[in-house]
């Protein structure tokens, strides 16, 4: 299907207008799913990294608190030692007192008798009321805070009984009478007692009465160096208010939180810190998720295997009270071994879906805006392209239609295009070309008629020349035939001499030879006539001579008829030669007229060369326009580079902003990718513009070659004019030649008439010879004498030829 230039302009202009927007739209649309998937992956990764970081941060908070508590414990232990020293030191009296000792783990009671423990000279007593002051321990609490306890060794195993303390029980009384067994219920040696019994200070986590404390235990010695008790200072793990509040205030995701579970021992699976502290101390070891799995056991078993700084992930479905469906929860787990804490930073996975929804809406909105902008750009591009197509394509279409009509022979076409650009110039040039073609066609038609007449005349001359050629060929054949007949003894042959060349000289010599023979024959006839009176005696011979004379008469008649026909042919040839001369003159005139037509053709081709030069300039302007478009594409490329640089800077700033800038970093990266794609697209456009420019240069070169070919055409037309001049000269020479041929034919006609008269004379002589034959018999003697003379004359010829003459004298020779 052919597409006109208007449609091409509309399509091309529309494509230029819409292509960038369509490309951007398609890129956004095609990349949307990838971006969304990447965002999902990044959000999922970010959520895991976020809760992992929160879990690590809580671990670090615990570690920091642990360090601070250890420092505080060290200071508290020094203060307690100093208070104890200032009180007079610790010692045992000789007086014993009964104690109801309660195992702090098993709660088993036993009755024992122990010496009173004195601080200086003052018994510490068995005070369990918080309102009653107790020496040393209450003074330490006032000075440094925390808890302080003095233990007394119960037995050789090292069981230690609390005899003075400010540690509170659940009933708000002092926790005296409880003891730390040397062996835990699980059969393992109690680490506190083991350390003390080695004479060392124990720092660490310990279960004190009914809670876990960060503690410091230091052995107390008597004067003999024996361990008699322990001085203890401690801080309840949950009592660090800033740590507790800091952990409970952490929000993971949208609705998540941080919890702490016990990892080992009796408090395994118990809430140490729960959401808002609502479930602290609750045992959830047997808790199941919505699928029936013991997820708490899985969390704790997995966590206690972790090393310092390691984080494990756990996913499980969880359904809160009042919710219809369970939601998937994700937790980042760490294990703080000094406190046996399983730290879990958990949240629902859909807490991060809001970001996905927002980004999806942004991408959808961006796609919608791109489509709307593409539609607007398409509408504007189509409107502008239609206007441009009408402005450029319509005049070109008119020129194309008019040119097609002219090509089909309609020279009445005229363009009414009034423009000041190349199209207007082309239209005006087209009108001038049509006018010139009209004039040229009028002249060509007129000259065509003359050419037809000249062609007819030339055809007639050609036919005449062919006839002349045939005539010459026949003349040569006749010469050969006459010579053959002469060789056979036919003495009636005669060749016309029309030219003074070798053939003419040959024919003249042949004719003179025949003439001599004829003269000899006449002498013979005279001799025969002289002897006719004596031929009576030779009756038989006379009869034969009579028959020969009859035959000669017939042959002479035949020759006369042939000579007359030949004379008519020669006369007709003379007339044809005259007409050929006239036709040749007319051909010369037509050739001169053809030379004039060639000169006019050269002039018109010069005008065409001017039009071609103007077209070359127009195409060169088109190449300059392509260069300007290339400059515009370069500007777009520079803008894309700047956009890429800005996107890179934005990505750097987003990276500096940390987690808060990750979403913007993704957008900046996409902008950078779009800038890179724009750069590639502009490079492709630049390559196409470069190709158009190169093709334009090729068109310019082709049109310059066309201009060169037109100049060659002008040169060839000039050569054709020179050739026609030579043809005119040759035609004049041909006229002269034909005139000579006509004159020669006239001479041949005159000669043939002379031959005809000679044949008539021969015919008359033959008749006389026939009469003379009858007189031969009158005088045989005279015949004998004349026969002798005839024999002498015939000795000049070949005997066999004379016999052939005698044998073939009845044949007729025709020309």
Give residue-wise pLDDT tens across range 267-315.
Answer: 889 988 888 888 888 899 998 888 888 988 999 999 999 988 899 999 8
Q: For domain 89-239, say whether CATH 3.30.450 is its number.
A: yes
Q: How far apart are CA 352 and CA 47, in angstroms?
A: 7
Taking residues 507-526, report their average pLDDT: 70
Report which secondary-structure segment, H or E, holds 558: helix 539-657
CA distances from 193 to 200, 203, 205, 219, 242 (A): 10, 12, 13, 10, 31
Which DSSP string do the residues of 26-40 spell out, in sequence order? HHHHHHHHHHHHHHH
Domain boundaries, the chain: 89-239, 470-807
Q: How far is CA 793 from the centre of its chain?
A: 109
CATH (one of 1.10.3720.10, 3.30.70.2190, 3.60.150.10, 1.10.287.950) for 470-807 = 1.10.287.950
Q: How far apart are CA 659 and CA 668, in angstroms?
A: 15
Which DSSP string do the residues of 51-120 spell out, in sequence order? HHHHHHHHHHHHHHHHHHHHHHHHHHHHHHHHHHHHTT-EEEEEEEEEEEEEETTT--EEEEEEEEEEET
Residue 223 contacts by C-beta under 8 Å, 6 or more apart in sequence?
91
Q: How far apart are CA 158 and CA 179, in angstroms?
A: 10
Q: Choose among 75, 89, 86: nearest CA to 144.
A: 75
Indicate whether 724 pLDDT > 80. no
Q: How far apart are CA 180 and CA 105, in angstroms?
A: 8
Q: Choose among 587, 585, 675, 663: nearest CA to 637.
A: 675
The 8-class DSSP code of residue 619 comes to: H
Give residue-wise pLDDT tens across range 389-413.
Answer: 676 666 777 777 777 777 777 777 7
Q: How far apart are CA 475 and CA 743, in angstroms?
A: 17
* Structure-derived torsion over alpha carbons of residues 7, 12, 17, 23, reported in degrees to the nearest 10: 120
Sign of CA dihedral 100, 103, 109, 113: negative
Bridge partners (DSSP) of residue 329 are 316, 348
Give residue-wise pLDDT tens across range 135-183.
Answer: 999 999 999 888 999 999 999 999 999 999 998 888 889 989 999 999 9
Residue 260 contacts by C-beta under 8 Å, 6 or more apart in sequence?
247, 271, 272, 273, 341, 342, 343, 344
Which DSSP string do the residues of 440-455 spell out, in sequence order? HHHHHHHHHHHHHHHH
Do the bridges between strand 147-153 and strand 535-536 make them parallel or antiparallel, or are there none, so unpaired? Answer: unpaired
Residue 155: what pLDDT? 95
Bigger pLDDT: 558 vs 132: 132
Q: Choose among 209, 213, 220: nearest CA to 234.
A: 213
Domains 89-239 and 470-807 share a fold: no
Q: How far apart are CA 416 and CA 169, in angstroms?
A: 115
How many CA atoms, within 13 angstroms, populate the side-chain half-sphere of residue 340?
Answer: 19
- SS3 call for 798: coil
Q: Choose among 363, 359, 354, 356: nearest CA to 674.
A: 363
Indicate whether 603 pLDDT > 60. yes
Bigger pLDDT: 98 vs 445: 98
CA distances from 401 to 261, 389, 411, 427, 428 (A): 93, 16, 12, 12, 15
Sheet holding 202-208, edge to edge: 122-123, 109-119, 90-103, 178-180, 160-165, 147-153, 227-236, 211-221, 202-208
- SS3 call for 779: coil
Mean pLDDT score of the chain, rounded to an integer?
A: 74
Residue 375: what pLDDT? 74
Bridge partners (DSSP) of residue 327 are 318
Q: Which residues of 254-276 are buried (b: 16+ CB within 10 A; e: fewer)?
A: eebbbbbbbbeeebbbbbbbbee
Give residue-wise pLDDT tens across range 8-46.
Answer: 666 776 677 667 767 777 776 666 667 666 766 776 677
Q: Choose among 776, 749, 767, 772: nearest CA to 556.
A: 767
Indicate whether 493 pLDDT > 90. no
**Under 8 Å between Cβ of 546 and 774:** yes
Q: Choose among 305, 303, 284, 266: nearest CA to 186.
A: 266
Residue 379: what pLDDT? 79
Residue 811: pLDDT band with limits 50, 70, 90:
very low
Give residue-wise pLDDT tens across range 179-214.
Answer: 999 999 989 999 999 999 999 999 887 766 666 778
Q: Whole-model pTM?
A: 0.42
Taking residues 745-771, report their average pLDDT: 62
Indicate whether 96 pLDDT > 60. yes
Per DSSP (E only), the strands in 412-537 are 535-536
Residue 761: what pLDDT? 66
Which DSSP string do the residues of 119-139 spell out, in sequence order? ETTEE------TTS--TTHHH
Share in percent of the chain as helix, strand, coil (round to 5): 65, 15, 20
Bigger pLDDT: 781 vs 211: 211
Give residue-wise pLDDT tens across range 706-718.
Answer: 666 667 666 766 6
Q: How far apart are CA 588 and CA 592, in angstroms?
A: 6
Report which secondary-structure segment, H or E, holds 357: helix 353-407
Residue 492 contacts by C-beta under 8 Å, 6 or more apart in sequence?
555, 556, 559, 759, 762, 813
Indicate whether 438 pLDDT > 70. yes
Bridge partners (DSSP) of residue 109 are 102
């Amino acid at each position: 299907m052919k597409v006109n230039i208007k449609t091409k302009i509309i399509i091309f202009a529309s494509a230029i207008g819409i292509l960038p927007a369509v490309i951007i739209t398609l890129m956004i649309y095609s990349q949307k799913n990838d971006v969304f998937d990447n965002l999902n992956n990044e959000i999922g990764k970010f959520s895991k990294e976020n809760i992992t970081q929160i879990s690590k941060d809580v671990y670090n908070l615990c570690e920091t608190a642990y360090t601070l508590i250890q420092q505080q414990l060290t200071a508290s232990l020094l203060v307690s030692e100093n208070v104890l020293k200032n009180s007079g030191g610790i010692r045992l009296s000789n007086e014993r007192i009964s104690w109801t000792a309660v195992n702090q783990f098993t709660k088993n009671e036993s009755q024992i008798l122990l010496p009173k423990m004195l601080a200086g000279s003052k018994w510490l007593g068995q005070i369990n009321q918080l309102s009653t002051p107790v020496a040393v321990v209450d003074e330490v609490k006032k000075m440094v805070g925390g808890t302080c306890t003095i233990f007394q060794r119960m037995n050789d195993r090292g069981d230690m009984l609390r005899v003075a303390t400010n540690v509170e029980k659940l009933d708000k009384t002092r926790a005296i009478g409880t003891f730390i067994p040397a062996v835990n219920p699980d059969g393992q040696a109690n680490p506190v007692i083991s350390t003390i019994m080695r004479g060392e200070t124990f720092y660490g986590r310990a279960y004190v009465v009914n809670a876990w404390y960060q503690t410091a235990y230091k052995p107390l010695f008597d004067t003999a160096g024996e361990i008699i008790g322990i001085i203890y200072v401690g801080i309840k793990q949950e009592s660090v208010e800033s740590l507790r509040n800091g952990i409970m205030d952490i929000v993971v995701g949208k609705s998540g939180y941080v919890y702490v579970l016990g990892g080992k021992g009796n408090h395994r699976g118990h809430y140490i810190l729960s959401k808002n502290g609502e479930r602290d101390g609750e045992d959830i070891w047997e808790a199941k998720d919505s699928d029936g799995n013991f997820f708490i056991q899985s969390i704790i078993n997995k966590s206690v295997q972790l090393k310092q700084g390691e984080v494990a992930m756990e996913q499980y479905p969880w359904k809160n009270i009042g919710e219809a469906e369970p939601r998937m929860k994700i937790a980042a787990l760490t294990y703080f071994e000094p406190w046996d804490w399983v730290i879990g930073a958990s949240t629902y996975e859909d807490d991060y879906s809001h970001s996905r929804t927002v980004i999806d809406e942004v991408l959808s909105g961006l796609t919608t805006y791109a489509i709307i902008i593409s539609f607007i750009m398409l509408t504007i591009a189509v409107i502008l392209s239609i206007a441009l197509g009408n402005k450029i394509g319509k005049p070109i279409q008119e020129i194309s239609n008019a040119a097609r009509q002219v090509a089909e022979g309609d020279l009445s076409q005229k363009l009414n295009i009034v423009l000041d650009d190349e199209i207007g110039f082309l239209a005006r040039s087209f009108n001038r070309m049509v006018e010139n073609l009209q004039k040229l066609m009028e002249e060509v038609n007129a000259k065509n008629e003359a050419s037809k007449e000249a062609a007819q005349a030339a055809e007639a001359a050609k036919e005449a020349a062919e006839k002349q050629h045939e005539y010459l060929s026949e003349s040569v054949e006749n010469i050969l035939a006459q010579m053959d007949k002469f060789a056979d003894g036919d003495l009636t042959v005669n060749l016309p001499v029309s030219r003074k060349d070798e053939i003419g000289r040959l024919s003249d010599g042949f004719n003179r030879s025949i003439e001599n023979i004829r003269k000899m024959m006449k002498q013979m006839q005279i001799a025969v006539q002289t002897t006719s009176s004596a031929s009576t005696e030779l009756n038989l011979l006379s009869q034969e001579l009579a028959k020969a004379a009859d035959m000669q008469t017939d042959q002479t008649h035949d020759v006369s008829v042939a000579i007359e026909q030949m004379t008519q042919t020669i006369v007709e040839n003379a007339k044809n030669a005259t007409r050929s001369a006239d036709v040749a003159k007319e051909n010369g005139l037509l050739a001169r007229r053809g030379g004039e037509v060639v000169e006019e053709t050269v002039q018109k081709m010069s005008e065409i060369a001017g039009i071609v030069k103007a077209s070359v300039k127009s195409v060169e302007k088109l190449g300059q326009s392509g260069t300007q478009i290339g400059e515009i594409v370069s500007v777009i490329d520079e803008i894309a580079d700047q956009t890429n640089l800005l996107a890179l800077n934005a990505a750097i700033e987003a990276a500096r902003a940390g987690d808060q800038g990750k979403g913007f970093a993704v957008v900046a990266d996409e902008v950078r990718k779009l800038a890179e794609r724009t750069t590639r697209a502009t490079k492709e456009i630049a390559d196409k513009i470069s190709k158009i420019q190169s093709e334009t240069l090729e068109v310019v070169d082709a049109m310059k070659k066309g201009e060169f070919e037109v100049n060659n055409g002008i040169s060839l037309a000039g050569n054709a004019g020179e050739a026609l001049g030579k043809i005119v000269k040759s035609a004049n020479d041909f006229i002269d030649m034909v005139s000579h041929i006509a004159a020669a034919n006239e001479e041949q006609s005159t000669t043939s008439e002379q031959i005809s008269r000679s044949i008539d004379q021969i015919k008359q002589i033959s008749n006389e010879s026939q009469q003379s034959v009858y007189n031969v018999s009158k005088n045989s003697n005279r015949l004998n004498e004349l026969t002798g003379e005839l024999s002498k004359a015939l000795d000049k010829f070949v005997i066999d030829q004379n016999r052939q003459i005698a044998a073939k004298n009845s044949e007729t020779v025709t020309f």
